[in-house]
């Protein structure tokens, strides 16, 4: 089955800095790569996603890049704010089920 590795497990940045979270996957047939943000005790919320026919996608301060050859994709958050603090999960989908990374706890200090 699919194997998803996510790094780092924790990330501390100062407000205004950029944050980058990386994921690698194993199944070259995977074609959909979403990122979810989960605040404590709440549901994961989709923040951005990318499909395999696209190399980069941006939505305001958030961007995702995908390298299909190397089988890795990254989440980039610019101008971080304290409210960006949460756990971020990458995920990979091949046929129908999502496989999640282990998560990155992002802490943005004022």
Residues that bind another protein (CB under 8 A): 32, 34, 36, 41-46, 49, 89, 93, 96-103
Q: How far is the CB of 44 from another protein (least distance, A)?
A: 5
What six digits make up the tokens of 62? 């958030």
Based on CB atoms, which residue is closest to another protein, 14 or 53? 53
| CA–CA–CA angle 79, 84, 89 (5° rounding) | 115
Q: Kindly state the tokens that stand for 64.
A: 């995702």
Smallest separation, CB 41 to another protein (Å)? 7
Helix (H) or strand (E) holding 63, with range, is strand 62-67
Separation of CA 82 from chain center: 18
Between 19 and 101, name the residue whose CB sits nearer to another protein.
101
CB of 17 to another protein, least distance (A): 24
């Amino acid at each position: 089955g699919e194997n998803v590795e996510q790094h780092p497990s924790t990330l501390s940045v100062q407000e205004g800095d950029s944050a980058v979270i990386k994921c690698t996957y194993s199944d070259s047939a995977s074609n959909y790569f979403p990122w979810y943000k989960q605040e404590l005790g709440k549901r994961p919320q989709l923040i951005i996603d990318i499909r395999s026919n696209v190399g980069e996608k941006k939505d305001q301060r958030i961007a995702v890049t995908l390298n299909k050859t190397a089988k890795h994709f990254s989440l980039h958050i610019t101008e971080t704010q304290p409210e960006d603090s949460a756990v971020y999960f990458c995920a990979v989908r091949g046929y129908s089920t999502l496989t999640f990374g282990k998560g990155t706890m992002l802490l943005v200090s004022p």
